[in-house]
Amino acid sequence: MAKKFYKENIQSIPAILYVEEGSEPTGWLEITDPDEIKRETKKLYIQRSNDGKALYESIRADLAGMYNSGDLTIADAHFIEIKLINAKSFLITGDWATAQYEMSLITVGGAYTQELNDDITGQINNYIILNY
């Protein structure tokens, strides 16, 4: 379903909402100016990108901890990084829905376990539920 930006109908600095069409909030004005829509979309993707970078840094820290504790070899860590390379690319650019799709294409095997796949996929799914 399509989503639109809305701003509070006040004179001071208004809050901005991004909601599904048909869920228009009472007392808010739809943003229709193309330049303003573009600015708000850029802000949205900057936040999504920052969040994606934070998630990937957390994943990487977990892998480093597993390597440092001897639970993963350097070959295992490399194998996992290669499995995640496309999802990582989409996460760090803020494209969470595309990263979610990419995760569905990854096959489990070797050091890349079902548990690891489920954990990462779950974090992406939760983010999308809360932020899309």
pLDDT digits (tens, 9 = 90+) for 45-82: 999 999 999 999 999 999 999 999 999 999 999 999 99
Task: Please enumerate in sequence order all residues whose Cβ is within 8 A of that of 101, keeping only pairs 6 or more positions apart, or say none.
Answer: none
| Lookup: tokens for 120 | 């990462």
What Rg do the C-alpha atoms of the chain give, in angstroms? 19
pLDDT of 11 above 80: no
Tens digits of per-residue pLDDT, 86-109?
Answer: 999 999 999 999 999 999 999 999
The pTM is what?
Answer: 0.86
